[in-house]
Structure 1
Amino acid sequence: MLQPLKLLAPFSFLWLTFSPVIAQEAKKISLEDVIKKEIHRPETVNGINWMKDGRYYTALKKREGFSQVVQINLETGKESRILIDGKELGLNFSNYAFNPDESMALLESEVESIYRRSTKAVFHLFDLRTEQFRQLENGEKISYASLSPDNTRVAYVKENNLFYEVLSSGKKVQVTFDGESNSIRNGAADWVYEEEFSMAKAFEWSPDGSKLAFIRFDEQEVPLFSMQMWGTLYPKNYEFKYPKAGEKNAEVSIHVYDLDSGDTQLIHTGEETDIYLPRIYWAGDNSILAIIRLNRLQNQKDILFANPTTGNVKMILTETSETYVDLNYNDHFIFLPDNKGFLTTSENDGFKHIYHYDLEGNMVRQITDGNWEVTELVGVDLNNKRVFFLSTEISPLERHFYSIGMNGRNKQLLTPERGTHSIRMSPDHRFFIDAYSSVTKPLLSRLLDSKGRLITNLEENKVLEIRMQDYSFRPKTFFSFPTTDGTELNGYLVQPADFDPSKKYPLLLYVYGGPGSQNVMNSWGGTRDWWHQHLAAEGYVVACVDNRGTGGRGRAFKHSTYAQLGKLETQDQLAAASYLGSFPYIDQERIGIWGWSYGGYMSSLALMIGHDLIKTAISVAPVSSWRYYDTIYTERYLQTPQLNPEGYDDFSPISHVDKLKGNFLLIHGTGDDNVHFQNSVELVDALISADKQVDTFYYPNRNHGISGGNTSWHLYQMMTDYIKNNL
């Protein structure tokens, strides 16, 4: 039996000797503190926009209830002037964007969410020279308004068609005419591209503003999904196109519209139409449109160069895999000027690294290498021949910022502070804003130069640090342990502030566990993490383990769950329960698990398959069968249900309902457009057939995030009560 003291040794460098201030009068973290007061929430620096002169950047600030765009001096970090004052305009805008010469700005207000990334809003054009101010489209809500690089036009999507307006005259030009709801979409992604390829806007201006490249989605043969929306005397049906695994996708095509001639050229991306075309990039000038193409199973990624005038394409680079080529984790693509090729990332050597290719697709060199991952390709400084990137080199639990020579030499660490760093770099690569945190340090936003030298701190969250000293809590401590096959898994523990190793504590596991995800990170936590702090204050030990299939640890670890989602992940979560349950201070009869979405799927399986170990589970918005989920995500990891039926059914919770013992709470929003309420309905139906009693709760019309109004408070109060009553 492994001993608890050895548990923490592998990650002792991650501040495992916490000594928070715990005075007798220190306050316990209450549920109200977490959900209503949000005592843990740090202040951030919003709306960063680097200015072209290299001397300033702008940021979005709120003052007296109105938005302001302020200009900040990069040399001093001090605010120099207010560029746009929402109070003077009588407008409370939530986002802004400049045109290339920074003479005009688009201001976005009354933003209305559609799905996770898609929105429509009222857009306002503000001329910084004349201070003239007007609405686009007479105040009608439109999507993705984008100013042209030549400062003469603004393009946008309205009612599934692409338009542009000539700024000098106000003349509107309609580029496409066939847009129709649940049929044809021009310049705006369909539901599944938006969700799984992390995109909403699907058009791009050419570098000189003379052309518009856009993606067209023909959804006519995609099955229609219907959700009933409650709240009226006669509930209404909300219908949208949603391709479930194995079903018909939209036929997608790429087009280039020439503003001078008014002609639209189809790009010839091949005879096969059952493919994905999720990215378009202008390759530095107007002569090349770069396209990423994936086959249906996503085990081949092609980079194509298209002639926007003729529509002809040339295959530049192909990457294949026995499992999948994951666009979400390889979507790094930077063109170099003067025909010097491009940079991209690949997992070809087992870890994601940066590669330099010429314009014919020949590899110039692999720029980074090692048993660690590049998680973001941030930028390239051609003047100094330096590449900037984030990686896991120090620890898979952290993210740090580096620069390296284009020749792969002279790598420099720019953010040595332990924790998780997120970077916004200036276009001239002279400065960057680093937002970083750790389990003991709230978010710190600061301005540094390209050598990593501090210019100024922008937001230190000192008030939050002082506030947290009033509360009794123990930050996460990290650990690793080997499973029966020798695989090392990383995890964290949250113990009660008054922890006594001679006592017995119930254990709650938190799980997500989906492909490429990570929960075990050295960073300041969000609402769920601080809910765990509340539970710890109530006498629970909370733990989280990243199972096989999660990210940050290379291709073999991430791809190990391919074609059999749920199998290894469940084994690893049960191994974690067994391992932690062997500690003398854990009550083996009171071990529970909870999760949301993929984590809801995992918590359901863990209770059903591992009922000897797990006694209580909460499953929020779970997938109950991958047959009910979308094509892009599901087929990437499981192939189609026609090719791999066992992969869909063997580890579906519906297939294991007869094993259910213990306490099971199932929660779902009826308006979930992502993981449909259908998943929970079908699971409950199977539980009824198996004569299993469970607790269920549904939230009318709430989406996958189950929020809005009093919803979050209600949800977390219910889950807290369930844990206290059953664990």
Structure 2
Amino acid sequence: MKVDARTGEASPFFDAARMESALAKLPGLSKDDAKKLAHRASYKLNPAQSAVVINFNNDLFYYELNTNSAARLTNNTEEEFEEDFSPDGRMVSFVRRNDLYVIDLATRRERRLTQTGSEATLNGRLDWVYEEEVYGRGHKRGYWWSPDSARIAYLSLDEEPVHEFPVVDHIPRRQVLEDTPYPLAGDPNPLARLGVVGAEGGDTLWVDTATYEPTDLLIVRVAWSPDSRSVVFQAQNREQTFLDLNAGEAASGKSSRLFREKTRAWVEPSDDNPHWLRDGSFLWRSERTGWMHLYHYTAAGKLIKQLTEGKWEVRGLDGVDEGAGLVYFHGTEHSHIAEHVYRVRLDGTGLTRLTQTEGSHDASFNPTNTLFVDKWSDINTPTQVRLFNSDGTLVRVIDENRVEALKGYKLGAT
């Protein structure tokens, strides 16, 4: 469904019956399959939100919403993983047998971009260590499209140094002993390289990481500069006592360090670092003072200004309205145990709390940063959902979530 944010008026996002009919005509899909696929809870949408790619029974299917156009993109016994659209929506990328592939949606032509994938070499897909300990559980994708859709940056992980560890599968009635790559404390980690390959194919260009000892290198986050000329990656040592922000030239692989975060304890990488602005500068969250705050940097890594300060934390960056010169974020300035939503100007002035109700707030801004949905709760109130203008004024209540049973309890005051 699609819902008008201000009025609450809902209408179907696409014609499910039309999608079901189109999918049912494809080889390998039964009518029951088509019906299930047309009524999924969520889909992988292209950037224009006009088409979807569906991973079903180890193959990929493509459908243009509200049309009769559907296609089976792959047809083989191997499973495809981490499928996604290119930023221009003209290609679909995925990993098969630990190699990267793309499919041109206009010609249906499939291209294999890497050739070295094996059980011991993972291209574009994270291993256990990088998923569980670096990028976070559930994040298996290890490749990133350039904004202009011309290139893909990817991690290539060499599992050869990783020792195997016996794990018992308790699910079968007769337990099974399995060996899996699993580094214990002090054991070797996988060796990581950062490559760049053209979407049209060709040799991989490896980004220069020679300043780091390979056995002590973690590549903890990867992004692209807005002009697609540089792969911007964060590198750490295994102890994670420093974090370098580096820029690698996509055309040559030459890299340079923009700056280093350093601590005697631990530097935590953040998913929202860096947040690019139109002029090529970027916002960055850092705990360098002992508290997580926002900083504004030039494209070359020179500090312009610290935007927030104090004995509280910026927990996450929610959006930037560059036209108005405003940065929206959630943090703990008002309460260390309950996050609120704030804004501050790009020059560091005008810090304002936008959520005034006591309790915890979780905001989701629209792409233009004019509205946000706020999920609010406190110790006595289950989550309620409201829509606000970006200045904090209420637009409407989406879900008051009244729980009549709570009236039967004498709840304490907070």
User: Scaled by the length of structure 1, what TM-score is found?
Assistant: 0.51
- The alpha carbon displacement at 1:80 in A equals 3.4
- The alpha carbon displacement at 1:130 in A equals 2.3
1:125 to 55, 59, 62: 62
**How many Å separate the matches in 1 of 2:124 and 2:13?**
34
The residue type equivalent to 2:195 in the other structure is H
1:404 to 328, 339, 344: 344
- The answer on 1:171 being equivalent to 2:118 is no
Q: Answer whether contact 1:358 1:364 (CA < 8 A) is retained.
A: yes
> SS of the counterpart of 1:305?
strand
Change in Cα spacing, 1:107 to 1:449, as seen in structure 2 (3 Å) is farther
- The answer on 1:284 being equivalent to 2:223 is no
Note the alpha carbon deviations across 1:444-486, whole angstroms, 9 max, x for none. Answer: 1222221122223333322xx124445x4746x77xxxxxxxx
Q: Answer whether contact 2:236 2:244 (CA < 8 A) is retained.
A: yes
**How many Å separate the matches in 2 of 1:255 and 1:369?**
37
> SS of the counterpart of 1:370?
coil
- The alpha carbon displacement at 1:249 in A equals 0.5
**How many Å separate the matches in 2 of 1:452 and 1:141?**
47
Aligned counterpart, 2:283: 343
- The alpha carbon displacement at 1:397 in A equals 0.9
Q: Answer whether contact 2:14 2:66 (CA < 8 A) is retained.
A: no
- The alpha carbon displacement at 1:167 in A equals 0.8
1:105 to 28, 52, 72: 52
- The alpha carbon displacement at 1:102 in A equals 2.4
Q: Answer whether contact 1:352 1:373 (CA < 8 A) is retained.
A: yes
- The alpha carbon displacement at 1:252 in A equals 0.3
- The alpha carbon displacement at 1:231 in A equals 5.1
> SS of the counterpart of 1:138?
coil
Structure 2 counterparts to residues 608-687 of structure 1, below 5 A: none
Q: Answer whether contact 1:191 1:242 (CA < 8 A) is retained.
A: yes
Q: Answer whether contact 1:96 1:108 (CA < 8 A) is retained.
A: no
Change in Cα spacing, 1:401 to 1:131, as seen in structure 2 (3 Å) is farther
Aligned counterpart, 1:564: none
Aligned counterpart, 1:382: 322
> SS of the counterpart of 1:327?
coil
Q: Answer whether contact 2:55 2:80 (CA < 8 A) is retained.
A: no
- The answer on 1:72 being equivalent to 2:3 is yes
Higher helix share: 1
Q: Answer whether contact 1:77 1:447 (CA < 8 A) is retained.
A: no
- The alpha carbon displacement at 1:305 in A equals 0.6
The residue type equivalent to 2:188 in the other structure is K
Unaligned runs of 5+ in 1: 1-69, 111-120, 479-727
**How many Å separate the matches in 2 of 1:194 and 1:281?**
17
Note the alpha carbon deviations across 1:630-665, whole angstroms, 9 max, x for none. Answer: xxxxxxxxxxxxxxxxxxxxxxxxxxxxxxxxxxxx
Q: Give the share of equivalent positions with the same residue, in percent.
A: 28
Q: Answer whether contact 1:332 1:377 (CA < 8 A) is retained.
A: no
> SS of the counterpart of 2:74?
helix
Aligned counterpart, 1:433: 373
Change in Cα spacing, 1:391 to 1:233, as seen in structure 2 (3 Å) is closer
Change in Cα spacing, 1:432 to 1:122, as seen in structure 2 (3 Å) is farther
> SS of the counterpart of 2:75?
helix
**How many Å separate the matches in 1 of 2:121 and 2:143?**
15
**How many Å separate the matches in 1 of 2:63 and 2:376?**
33
Q: Answer whether contact 1:101 1:151 (CA < 8 A) is retained.
A: yes
- The answer on 1:324 being equivalent to 2:266 is yes
> SS of the counterpart of 1:325?
coil
Aligned counterpart, 1:81: 12
2:246 to 304, 308, 314: 304
Aligned counterpart, 2:28: none
Structure 2 counterparts to residues 422-571 of structure 1, below 5 A: 422-462=362-402, 465-469=403-407, 472=409, 474=411
Higher strand share: 2
Aligned counterpart, 2:185: 245
User: Scaled by the length of structure 2, what TM-score is found?
Assistant: 0.88
Q: Answer whether contact 2:113 2:201 (CA < 8 A) is retained.
A: no
> SS of the counterpart of 1:293?
strand
> SS of the counterpart of 1:417?
coil
Aligned counterpart, 1:535: none
Structure 2 counterparts to residues 586-601 of structure 1, below 5 A: none
Q: Select the structure of larger CA radius of gyration.
A: 1
Q: Answer whether contact 1:211 1:258 (CA < 8 A) is retained.
A: yes
Q: Answer whether contact 1:399 1:421 (CA < 8 A) is retained.
A: yes
- The alpha carbon displacement at 1:78 in A equals 2.0
> SS of the counterpart of 2:12?
strand
**How many Å separate the matches in 1 of 2:17 and 2:269?**
39
2:92 to 154, 162, 182: 154
Change in Cα spacing, 1:125 to 1:84, as seen in structure 2 (3 Å) is farther
- The alpha carbon displacement at 1:143 in A equals 2.0
Greater relative contact order, per chain length (Cα 8 Å cut-off, separation 6+): 1
**How many Å separate the matches in 1 of 2:293 and 2:390?**
21
The residue type equivalent to 2:357 in the other structure is E
Note the alpha carbon deviations across 1:65-121, whole angstroms, 9 max, x for none. Answer: xxxxx11223323213332538962124243232222221234567xxxxxxxxxx7
Unaligned runs of 5+ in 2: 21-34
Aligned counterpart, 1:367: 307
**How many Å separate the matches in 1 of 2:356 and 2:73?**
46
1:192 to 111, 117, 129: 129
**How many Å separate the matches in 2 of 1:171 and 1:97?**
20
Note the alpha carbon deviations across 1:408-439, whole angstroms, 9 max, x for none. Answer: 11122111111211122122111212122111
The residue type equivalent to 1:95 in the other structure is S
